[in-house]
Chain A
């Protein structure tokens, strides 16, 4: 039995993260949800996740700002950026701001799982 990976899904589209979270749980990931950047920061404070799957565009505190705050708080938390924008610059700027990876919505869950596994491998968790 490997150590379960704690995931935090952050997106203002609740329908999206609720379904995604359920699917990840089916795949044995410990998953929690937040529908805004502010809520995500509160959750991180209570229970540190291993990987944050973060939407870039959100009302209020946007994805970019949340990313910076997470990295400032705990640089060891990995972040996969998720965006609806097809603009490749958006992903690049996320990477340069400290995100480990990025995905364009809609994506195949296999891709997400692969990226999660990549991060786990890198951390020697596997």
Chain B
């Protein structure tokens, strides 16, 4: 894993970035990369995922609606048919009892005729009986011997007295053939009443339901209010068995619910209570069908989502890596260009110094030349040898001039050598004296008074000597260029805050007009014409920033200019 990572790891991942004050940041580019990836990913992946889920939900709902609608229709249609079936038979019975000749003492013959007419015209009638107000069956036509049976203790008898009509649950009866009963009451002129009671075969009832063209996994049946099956069902038991589902709450309209069967499978339950009967018509549909569609949709959508996400991520990672790499490379180029410019500036400084140095070295060389020449003159032209002390004095003078030369060359070398970045402890006052060493002679010859005022409590600072030399040399060179012969340059060093030191270099030179003041630190800004590159102060600015400090300038035309360089004590 590590080996793979080291192979694919982009170049910029652990690249070092120099911060001001010499610190380094090794996660700069990887941080940009992470922010870019997180940013782009959040605005592209999140909406996509959200859309996918919303889509999925919507589609699932649409599928469910598609499934629910036919159930609703089936339930309400079938309910109407069943209700009509029962209503028809009830109406037929009521028609019979409303005949003015109908009473409890109706003859068997007449009842038989009525029964045959009913069977032929409506069908489904199993038997027919007439019961008087005492609950005794006065006349009976049918396959059983029920004449004279006393019903007055039975609940249905009471119900029919109160309501005038009664429809029973389905029950097995003597022969265990499921059937149900419809009874209607007719008040008599004498204050009594008679009841016509018919038994109806559930075959007709069942065929109503079995004629429904049901799809697999769909079940339709009738239950009573207690949940006992009134018609056979496909999956939920036979007639007169209790279903293992809760009975849905009573409503007057067709309803669709989502329930779970005893195995925990989701079911869609459509139901309707059939008015004035104990019957509830139920359609149950397994959600399996729905789930099949949803599962397919989910699979397709998931696959699409995964592919899109993968593609998006690849593109994001690729693009982020590419872009950060470009930034990194641009930074590298910029840094190397900056290093080159700094180096060039340094070399230019050395070149400028060289002229002064040559002059400075030529003086001791001239002394050596004359002292040596004099020695030679004495030895070759003089008649007698001078005293020994004179010769030693000449030679001492030669040696001290050689020392002067070597101080100059060493100083120059010390400046040129510090090109590598390195932090060291620096005594600012000694350091500025050293820099002044390069240009001190110029001050002497041009009668420029250079004063230095260092506060007592200036600590040693940690900084890069080479860069600092460059900074002070650039600023001092500018000051020397600004002042006239006989002018003055004041250097003061004071603590700026507990951890910063400020160096102020003030000259009484020509000053910088306000319109130029803002631009002095900008690259290629120069008022020296062909003599300047316009890079000196911009490089100085960059160098001071790199050292963790800052540089500012104040100036007044013909009064002078002040540069303030603030440096951190601890690098």
Query: Interface-forming stretch among B89-97, B111-119, B356-364?
Result: B356-364
Please, which residues of chain A bring their CB within 8 A of the CB of B107? Answer: none
Q: A19-B394, A23-B370 are in contact. Are A59 and B444 (CB under 8 A)?
A: yes
Quick check: B359 and A84 within 8 Å, CB to CB? yes
Please, which residues of chain B bring their CB within 8 A of the CB of A13? Answer: 363, 366-367
Quick check: B447 and A105 within 8 Å, CB to CB? no
Quick check: B363 and A26 within 8 Å, CB to CB? no
Shortest beta-carbon distance, B402 to chain A, in Å? Answer: 12
Asked if A87 is at the interface of the complex by the 8 Å CB criterion, the answer is yes
Cα separation A106 to B361 with both chains bound (whole Å): 10
Pick the contact of B363 from A22, A84, A86, A87 — CB < 8 Å?
A: A84
Return the chain B residue nearest A109 by Cβ: B373
Pick the contact of A15 from B359, B360, B362, B367 — CB < 8 Å?
A: B367
Quick check: A84 and B360 within 8 Å, CB to CB? yes
Asked if B401 is at the interface of the complex by the 8 Å CB criterion, the answer is yes
Q: Bits for B199-227, please: 1 = Cβ < 8 Å to A, else 0.
A: 00000000000000000000000000000
Shortest beta-carbon distance, A5 to chain B, in Å? Answer: 18
Return the chain B residue nearest A86 by Cβ: B358
Asked if B168 is at the interface of the complex by the 8 Å CB criterion, the answer is no
Asked if B368 is at the interface of the complex by the 8 Å CB criterion, the answer is yes
Q: Bits for A26-47, please: 1 = Cβ < 8 Å to B, else 0.
A: 1000000000000000000000
Shortest beta-carbon distance, A61 to chain B, in Å? Answer: 9
Return the chain B residue nearest A85 by Cβ: B359
Cα separation A83 to B196 with both chains bound (whole Å): 153
Docked complex: B366-390 residues within 8 A CB-CB of A:
366-371, 373-374, 377-378, 381-382
Asked if A60 is at the interface of the complex by the 8 Å CB criterion, the answer is yes
Cα separation A40 to B256 with both chains bound (whole Å): 126
Please, which residues of chain B bring their CB within 8 A of the CB of A83? Answer: 359
Q: Bits for A81-116, please: 1 = Cβ < 8 Å to B, else 0.
A: 001111100000000000000001111010000000
Q: A22-B374, A26-B377, A87-B355 are in contact. Are A106 and B369 (CB under 8 A)?
A: yes
Quick check: A59 and B373 within 8 Å, CB to CB? no
Quick check: B444 and A19 within 8 Å, CB to CB? no
Asked if B174 is at the interface of the complex by the 8 Å CB criterion, the answer is no
Docked complex: A42-80 residues within 8 A CB-CB of B:
57-60, 62
Docked complex: B327-365 residues within 8 A CB-CB of A:
355, 358-363, 365
Cα separation A107 to B365 with both chains bound (whole Å): 9
Asked if B5 is at the interface of the complex by the 8 Å CB criterion, the answer is no
Cα separation A94 to B156 with both chains bound (whole Å): 147
Cα separation A67 to B371 with both chains bound (whole Å): 26
Cα separation A58 to B444 with both chains bound (whole Å): 8
Asked if B445 is at the interface of the complex by the 8 Å CB criterion, the answer is yes
Asked if B397 is at the interface of the complex by the 8 Å CB criterion, the answer is yes
Quick check: A57 and B445 within 8 Å, CB to CB? yes
Return the chain B residue nearest A84 by Cβ: B362
Pick the contact of A62 from B359, B367, B381, B445 — CB < 8 Å?
A: B445
Please, which residues of chain A bring their CB within 8 A of the CB of B368? Answer: 106
Quick check: A84 and B366 within 8 Å, CB to CB? yes
Main secondary structure of the interface of B (DSSP, over half): helix
Shortest beta-carbon distance, A87 to chain B, in Å? Answer: 7
Q: Which of B366, B381, B382, B447 has the most CB of A within 10 A?
A: B366
Cα separation A83 to B397 with both chains bound (whole Å): 20
Quick check: A106 and B362 within 8 Å, CB to CB? yes
Cα separation A88 to B359 with both chains bound (whole Å): 12
Q: A15-B397, A22-B374, A59-B447 are in contact. Are A86 and B367 (CB under 8 A)?
A: no
Cα separation A22 to B374 with both chains bound (whole Å): 7
Q: Bits for A15-27, please: 1 = Cβ < 8 Å to B, else 0.
A: 1100110110010
Quick check: B355 and A105 within 8 Å, CB to CB? no
Cα separation A16 to B394 with both chains bound (whole Å): 11
Shortest beta-carbon distance, A88 to chain B, in Å? Answer: 12
Q: A62-B445, A106-B366, A106-B369 are in contact. Are A19 and B374 (CB under 8 A)?
A: yes
Shortest beta-carbon distance, B448 to chain A, in Å? Answer: 11
Please, which residues of chain A bring their CB within 8 A of the CB of B397? Answer: 15, 19
Q: A59-B444, A85-B359, A105-B362 are in contact. Are A19 and B381 (CB under 8 A)?
A: no
Pick the contact of B382 from A19, A26, A85, A87 — CB < 8 Å?
A: A26
Q: Which of A58, A60, A84, A104 has the most CB of B within 10 A?
A: A84
Cα separation A112 to B226 with both chains bound (whole Å): 142
Shortest beta-carbon distance, A116 to chain B, in Å? Answer: 15
Quick check: A105 and B365 within 8 Å, CB to CB? yes
Pick the contact of A57 from B358, B359, B369 — CB < 8 Å?
A: B359
Cα separation A57 to B119 with both chains bound (whole Å): 149
Cα separation A83 to B365 with both chains bound (whole Å): 12
Q: Bits for B393-408, please: 1 = Cβ < 8 Å to A, else 0.
A: 0100100010000000
Cα separation A23 to B372 with both chains bound (whole Å): 10
Q: A26-B381, A59-B444, A62-B445 are in contact. Are A16 and B373 (CB under 8 A)?
A: no
Return the chain A residue nearest B390 by Cβ: A22
Quick check: B358 and A85 within 8 Å, CB to CB? yes
Please, which residues of chain B bring their CB within 8 A of the CB of A107? Answer: 366, 369
Please, which residues of chain B bring their CB within 8 A of the CB of A105? Answer: 362-363, 365-366, 369
Q: Which of A15, A26, A87, A109 has the most CB of B within 10 A?
A: A15
Pick the contact of B370 from A20, A84, A87 — CB < 8 Å?
A: A20
Cα separation A13 to B369 with both chains bound (whole Å): 13
Quick check: A23 and B445 within 8 Å, CB to CB? no
Cα separation A15 to B368 with both chains bound (whole Å): 9
Shortest beta-carbon distance, A27 to chain B, in Å? Answer: 8
Quick check: A85 and B355 within 8 Å, CB to CB? yes
Cα separation A58 to B368 with both chains bound (whole Å): 19
Quick check: B355 and A86 within 8 Å, CB to CB? yes
Return the chain B residue nearest A18 by Cβ: B370
Cα separation A104 to B361 with both chains bound (whole Å): 12
Quick check: B373 and A86 within 8 Å, CB to CB? no
Quick check: B401 and A23 within 8 Å, CB to CB? no
CB pairs A–B below 8 angstroms (8 shown): A13-B366, A16-B367, A16-B370, A19-B374, A26-B378, A62-B447, A85-B355, A106-B362
- 8 tightest A-B CB contacts, nearest first: A84-B362, A19-B370, A106-B369, A105-B366, A106-B366, A84-B359, A57-B445, A105-B362
